[in-house]
Structure 1
Amino acid sequence: MSRNLRRGALAATAIVFSIAALSACGAGNNAQTLGVRPDHAAVTVDDLKIQNALVITQPERGVKGPAAISATLFNNGRAPQVLESISLPGSSATVTLKSAKGAGPITVPANGSVVIGGAGNASAVIENGTEAARVGDAQQVVFKLSRTGDVGLEAFVVPADSYFKDFGPSIVPAPPAATPTASATATGGEHGGTPSGETNAPSGH
């Protein structure tokens, strides 16, 4: 179940600055200490930490299309962990995972980290995104790891615009603008104009 959250622009800005810092700095334990520590969705269970969790929807409200989950996973353990699935309790949405290489599972290396979302990173796409959450809410998200098991938290729901557009889903194009019908654009007939598809060629005299 989602519950309405009222968050200001400063919190959203802090989240994306932290995401950008983590994406640029790469893996390793030191990555946890880099960047801003904002009021954002994060949780630690045993050796695993999930930070900067977001559900990113289409940029335009009401547009049906995929959404995406963005997060950074840290593994402070001595063995790698596989992200087996991500689920959204309370919805029928399904999440498709894809590693940065495009094949194989998303693996969080020992004493390392993985960024989900953004160019060149692993991805988690919510196929039926409009059923997952509404902008302004917090959505329960459960990450299932091979060693830690289920790790749940509430992720903010934001549109894929401004700071978050590079971490969001593929954008569904807006429907084409209405075009005039043939009857509206054609001239001629009883009004004496030129019928559609014909030209007034010079007679040559």
Structure 2
Amino acid sequence: MSRSLRHGAFAATALVFSIASLSACGAGNDAQTLKVRPDNAATAVDNLKIQNVNVITQPDPEAEGPAVVAATLFNDGTKKETLESVTLPGTSATVKLSPAKGNGPLVVPAGGRLVLGGKGNASAVIENGRDAGADGDVRTVAFSFSETGEVSLGAAVVPATHFFKGFGPSALPSAKPTSSPSKSASGTPSGEASDSGAESGTPSDDAATTE
């Protein structure tokens, strides 16, 4: 290849990289523009690190039931921290904290970690999952600690499917009520339905007295 052609090729390549760089700068950090799925929310304050924060709702968006806040809390300090509360400011959501076993406070040990969500871990449960928001929303989650105080960050609201399935609410919604007994042409329940507790939707005497 002649020197002039090589120079032309190098110039074209440089122009392509320049345009690509300008396009990336114009896109900024907008994950939708860059077609990149954002990482789970994380932050650090003093000796505390909070990672993998998500608000996880029922797998069916139409279902009624609890939601949970999932997170991993690290304590790099020499003194234990107690997680006193988790709140979702700006919503009516109430979050109930429970240890992995028994009763008592949720402690982030010095040099250790505390996991919220998932089997065998502590939990932060929102009884009315709809208060947490719709899937795809970003909610502010505030963690209040005994020593560090309040630490807030934005977290995505996601359904308990795929990767999040094992970290979602352990209580699934109850089954929808069955339809009412069929009626005769006159508008009153048929004789068979009224005679049989099982058919009318009411447990029979045997079913009511037998475990």
TM-score of the two chains, using structure 1 as the length reference: 0.70
The match for 1:50 is 50
- Unaligned runs of 5+ residues in structure 1 are 12-37, 190-194, 199-205
Cα distance in 1, alignment partners of residues 61 and 106 from structure 2: 30
Aligned length: 159
Residue 131 of structure 1 aligns with an amino acid whose one-letter code is D
1:9–1:159 distance in 2 versus 1, CA, 3 Å: farther
Question: More helix per residue: 1 or 2?
Answer: 2
Mean CA deviation greater in 81-90 or 174-183: 174-183
Runs of 4+ aligned residues of structure 1 deviating over 4 Å after TM superposition are: 5-10
Alignment of 1:125-204 (within 5 A): 125-169=125-169, 170-176=171-177, 178=179, 181-183=182-184, 196=192
Cα distance in 2, alignment partners of residues 153 and 39 from structure 1: 13
Cα distance in 2, alignment partners of residues 146 and 130 from structure 1: 29
CA contact (8 A) 2:132 2:157 kept: no
* Shift of residue 128, structure 1, vs aligned partner: 2.0
The match for 2:109 is 109
Residue 173 of structure 1 aligns with an amino acid whose one-letter code is S
1:81 corresponds to 2:81: yes
* Shift of residue 72, structure 1, vs aligned partner: 0.2
1:68–1:93 distance in 2 versus 1, CA, 3 Å: same
* Shift of residue 10, structure 1, vs aligned partner: 7.5
- Unaligned runs of 5+ residues in structure 2 are 1-30, 196-211
Identity percentage over the alignment?
A: 52
- Report SS of the residue matched to 1:183: coil
- Report SS of the residue matched to 2:130: helix
Which has the bigger relative contact order, CA under 8 A and spacing at least 6? Answer: 1
* Shift of residue 177, structure 1, vs aligned partner: 5.1
Question: Which has the higher Rg, Structure 1 or Structure 2?
Answer: 2
Residue 132 of structure 1 aligns with an amino acid whose one-letter code is A
CA contact (8 A) 2:91 2:132 kept: yes
Residue 94 of structure 1 aligns with an amino acid whose one-letter code is T
- Report SS of the residue matched to 1:84: strand
Residue 83 of structure 1 aligns with an amino acid whose one-letter code is L
1:99–1:87 distance in 2 versus 1, CA, 3 Å: same
The match for 1:29 is none
Cα distance in 2, alignment partners of residues 10 and 129 from structure 1: 28
Residue 162 of structure 2 aligns with an amino acid whose one-letter code is S
- Report SS of the residue matched to 1:42: strand
1:8–1:115 distance in 2 versus 1, CA, 3 Å: farther
TM-score of the two chains, using structure 2 as the length reference: 0.68
Cα distance in 2, alignment partners of residues 82 and 7 from structure 1: 40
Query: What's the Cα RMSD here?
Result: 2.7
